[in-house]
Amino acid sequence: MTSTKGLHSPLEELKANGPAATGKTLVLLVNGYSASASEIVTGALKDRGRAEVIGTRTFGKGLVQSIVPLGNNASLKLTTAVYYTPNGTNINEKGITPDIVVTEKPKTKKDEQLQAALRYLARQP
């Protein structure tokens, strides 16, 4: 579940339907380029205890924007609401802090975050 609320928009809750596809542990890899929809999914899975988040803090784009057509091929993009995680956290301009912080080292050939995820999964029952 996630929700949105704006100054002139009522609280709207968005919920997933049906049972979880698996009870197995999920691992999400994130970094500063993880933004918007990926942060909303990450926040929902993290808050519900369905995923371990590994990597670095996400970008922090948690706004709802609406496009209003003005005619003559012109439009206006307005920020109309903010996304909240299931626990009520506003991620905008803050991002999501991973459960396990792992910084990539671009000069190495090894993917540190992927290796951390594989180690984490190997420890699960």
Q: Residues with catalytic annotation?
A: 36, 47, 61
94 to 38, 57, 60, 72, 102: CA distances (angstroms): 14, 8, 5, 37, 18
Return d(Cα 114, Cα 15) in angstroms, integer: 29
